[in-house]
Amino acid sequence: MAEILDGAFIRDQILADLKPRVEALAAAKRPPGLAVVLVGNNPASEIYVRNKVKACADLGIFSDKLTPPDSISTDELLAIIKGLNDRPEIDGILVQMPLPAQIDSRQVLEAVSPDKDADGFHPMNVGRLVANRSAPRACTPAGIMEMLRRYNISVKGRRAVVVGRSDIVGKPMALMLMHADATVTVCHSKTANLAQECSRADILVAAMGRPAWITSEFIGCGAVVIDVGMNRLTDRKEVARVFHDRPEKLAEFDRKGAILVGDVNPVDVAARAGAYTPVPGGVGPLTIAMLMANTVSLAEQHLGFR
């Protein structure tokens, strides 16, 4: 039977390791500080930000949530970022995506000081990742690497396939796996013989945002499958197809009106993989944990603890 990789279990380990570091900073000088900028009233973004602020409170990290209106201009938002860059009690800055259409998102993200880049998205920090030098790392792939390490899943010398080439997950994931001595292939929508490429993987990371798209022919027997996707299904026929008419899933859909599924077919992965991350409860909990880890590391850097 495939092993389920429990993201909440690993998240709790990471946060427990951070707690004494936060306490040491607070006792010696001040607690770490994280600023979260939430533009407008996107319901999903509001939930994410609420969870991030709660994680700060639970750890003893100071947080400041800024909520400018969705009518804000790029220049006005840049002025807010500059103010946060100048505040000494703020160690990390997170700009919640997506931003409204009128905002130049790239310009905003690049305005965050690299040494306050809690998300690890600044080009300077991406460059440091390429060079395998110390810097904030993109939270989701960094969390995946922590999960692999804490579950004692060997990466060195293994064949890893990453499906998806986004700046947020796919590219940094490939680099982190490469730095851990995996042999890495990056696949995407234009890859020829995609199922064949994926089926050779010892470690398969699915991060393309297509619900249940990775099916049994993509999964090598006994592979470790990491599902980064988080897709909401609202069509009952689609739920029936994805979950192979399983009555408990159809009942859950009928009760809730929607159901979450990753980029990997949940029935096929349980049958083929040696270990896999479920959706929900797999990769998701790790992202906020690594945001906290980045913030604490930045605070230690700013306060001379490292």
Q: What is the 3-state secondary structure (H, E, C) of 75-133?
A: HHHHHHHHHHHCCCCCCEEEECCCCCCCCCHHHHHHHCCHHHECCCCCHHHHHHHHCCC
| Nearest by Cα to 229 from 137, 106, 123, 140 | 140
Sign of CA dihedral 126, 131, 137, 143: positive
Phi, psi of 166 (to 5 degrees): -70, 155
This prediction's pTM: 0.95
Peptide bond into 280 cis (omega under 30): yes
Q: What is the pLDDT of residue 137?
A: 97
List Cβ neighbours of 213 (8 Å cut-off, separation of 6 or more): 206, 263, 264, 265
Distances (CA, A) of 244 to 240, 249, 250, 266, 268: 6, 9, 10, 10, 10
How far apart, in whole angstroms, are the C-alpha atoms of residue 111 and residue 303? 22
Residues acting as catalytic residues: 52, 96, 119
- What pLDDT sits at residue 142? 98
Q: 105, 221, 258: which is closest to 168 by C-alpha?
A: 105
Give residue 43's pLDDT. Answer: 87
Q: SS3 of 264, please?
A: strand
- Which residue do the tokens 């899943």 mark? 153
Dihedral angle of Cα 194, 198, 204, 210, to the nearest 10 degrees: 30
* Tokens 């393309």 found at: 208
Q: What SS3 state is found at 200?
A: coil
CATH numbers and ranges of domains, the chain = 30-116 (3.40.50.10860), 139-286 (3.40.50.720)
Residue 306 pLDDT: 75
Instruction: Tell me the per-residue pLDDT of 52-69, one tens digit each, with 9 for 90 and over.
Output: 999 999 999 999 999 999
pLDDT of residue 202: 98
Task: Tell which residue, 49, 235, 13, has the closest CA to residue 143.
Answer: 13
CA dist 15 and 298 (Å) reads 16
What gap in Å lies between CA 123 and CA 133, rounded to an integer? 13
Judged by DSSP in three states, 2 sits in coil
Ranges of residues in the chain whose predicted pLDDT is under 50: none
